Amino acid sequence: MNRYDIVIIGSGIGGLVCGGILSREGFRVCVLEKNKQIGGSLQTFSREKEIFDSGVHYIGGLDKGQNLYQIFKYLGVMDKLKLQRMDEDAFDKIIISNDHKVYRQAQGYENFIKHLADDFPEEETAIRNYCDKIKEICNKFPLYNLRTNGLYEEKADVLTLDTHSVITSLTGNTTLQAVLAGNNALYVGRPDETPFYIHALIINSYIESSWKCINGGSQIGKILARNIRDSGGEIARNCEVIKIVTEGDTAVYAETANGARYYADQFISNIHPAKTMELTNAEVIKNIYRKRIRNLPHTISSFLIHIVLKKGSFKYFRHNYYYHKAGEIWNLADYTEDNWPLGYALFFPPSSKTGAYADAMTIFTYMRYEEVEPWQHTFNTVSAENNRGAGYDAFKKYKAEILLDCVEEKFPGLRSCIQSYTTSTPLSYRDYIGNYDGSLYGIAKDYKDPLKTFISPRTKVRNLFLTGQNINIHGVLGSSISALLTCVSLLGNENVVEKIRNA
């Protein structure tokens, strides 16, 4: 019989961090992953021997003593990572359609202020106030700061602040507003919706320190998996859970597609909460709760072009570019067929051989799931997307050419540098990550009703817990902190937070 202390469903960063923490705390863990490759959004793939990230293009908070550094140090990951620090004077460069200037977001708060004040000398006070506001907000989130004994009340008053309102209240300069929100594709920034704490927690981590993973982010998943195995745990791939069987209010075993049963004292699901609810018919989980979780709105999905560049043709940059059409920074997800894309991001993945010239490039933009609904009944979990038919291939090529035309306006000559490219759509993300609609960052948070999208790691099944980007915030850091929250809930104390802070 397959029997463990804890069974974790899904090997995304949240599941692996839970597995890593609980293994170190002495539990025998088994992680079940439906795909061939572990890691969720950490997954990488290669084209013509160039490595591309499926989701993790850069990471913040990894300088000594910072929050993600401490978590990774405790987990035995930090000293094994191959990292490249991004340009200290510009981790992100913001470009606007009708503006010849390139605006820089720099690492380190004083450096961040200095570079923006160079471009907006009359706005230095506003820039400084913006930075102070971010730090003030971040300080109200205990786990984000690896602090114990945090109370909900200390952050309650900032959950209802709106990103758009806060930024526009700090400065009337519309260009500076657009620059401060210029990388809002990191969280799908929307006016009258996106809470400011989401903006603050994410941007703060990059201002503190910004890094790229050399040869891709999948190394994080591989190191975590190795450490789990070294602690006596198991990782089972190609192992899709189709059922969580309960007796009363207790989960007994997880059953997989091949009929295997995995018994445990505790279960953690790192898949979407609504999908988790579909796996169990436990009567203690009321239909009204299932319906509420299922009907929560999701963030938009994406369309990406993964480019293999001709050797020595395009300079390598240790920063990203975020572009938007003037006046559209808050409406990037509300494109029409005629004006798409309203914005894009450029990422340059570093490999161990990258020198002065880039080997590859990823272009990212938004795409709604409805655009690929004609092919929604086709599924693909292998590396090459070739089973959706000629119509799908034609659609992807049509969209890729439009996007390349847009990028070429600011980067003339890019097309002549392309050796080959492949694309991915909301369907690619849906099939690799296992959500409903290829949503980039899971459930969309709304400052007007913060409790509506608050999902506790605890469920009515007393030994079934939730983790992942839908429990807290998304990204490597957000999902790691979500995992920490899940572990604290499961363990019933915060001792592990102290251990991580003092690692």
pLDDT at site 135: 98
pLDDT at site 382: 46
Of the ranges 39-53, 201-215, 426-440, the best mean pLDDT one: 201-215
Point out which residues pair with 418 in neighbouring strands. 309
SS (H, E, C) 298-342: ECCEEEEEEEEECCCCCECCCCEEEEECCCCCCCCCCCCCCCCCC
State how far the Cα of 66 lies from the Cα of 476, in Å rounded to an integer. 14
323-354 pLDDT, tens digit each: 999 999 999 999 999 999 999 999 999 998 88
Contacts 24+ apart (CB under 8 A), 367-372: 367/300, 367/301, 367/302, 367/303, 367/399, 367/425, 367/426, 368/300, 368/301, 368/333, 368/426, 369/301, 369/426, 369/430, 369/437, 369/438, 369/439, 371/395, 371/425, 371/426, 372/425, 372/426, 372/427, 372/438
pLDDT at site 151: 64
176-193 pLDDT, tens digit each: 999 999 999 999 999 989
Task: Check the CA dihedral 363-369-373-379 and report its sign.
Answer: positive
Whether the CB-CB separation of 62 and 206 falls below 8 Å is answered with: no
State how far the Cα of 145 lies from the Cα of 434, in Å rounded to an integer. 30
pLDDT at site 355: 93
Based on C-alpha coordinates, what's the Rg of the chain? 22
pLDDT at site 195: 96
Say how many Å lie between the first and final Cα of the chain, rounded: 36
- 306-328 average pLDDT score: 97
**Mean pLDDT score of the chain, rounded to an integer?**
94
Point out which residues pair with 236 in neighbouring strands. 32
Whether the CB-CB separation of 78 and 86 falls below 8 Å is answered with: no
Domains and CATH numbers, the chain: 2-82+215-296+445-501 (3.50.50.60), 106-212 (no CATH), 300-440 (no CATH)
- 45-62 average pLDDT score: 93
CA 151 to chain centre: 26
Which 3 state secondary structure label does DSSP give 422?
Answer: strand
State how far the Cα of 437 lies from the Cα of 300, in Å rounded to an integer. 8
What is the DSSP secondary-structure string of 446-478? -TTSTTTT---SB-SSTTEEE-STTTS--HHHH
Which 3 state secondary structure label does DSSP give 195?
Answer: strand
* The pLDDT of residue 31 is above 50: yes
Angle, nearest 10°, between helix axes 196-208 and 475-491? 110
pLDDT > 70 fraction of the chain, expressed in percent and rounded: 98
- Region of 78 (left: φ > 0; alpha: ψ -120 to 50; beta: rest) is alpha
Structure tokens at 272: 């979407």
Of the ranges 34-48, 145-159, 174-188, 377-391, the best mean pLDDT one: 174-188
* The pLDDT of residue 384 is above 50: no
Global confidence as pTM: 0.95
pLDDT at site 17: 98
- 69-80 average pLDDT score: 97
- 432-451 average pLDDT score: 88
Task: Check the CA dihedral 202-205-206-212 and report its sign.
Answer: negative
CA 414 to chain centre: 28
Whether the CB-CB separation of 445 and 200 falls below 8 Å is answered with: no
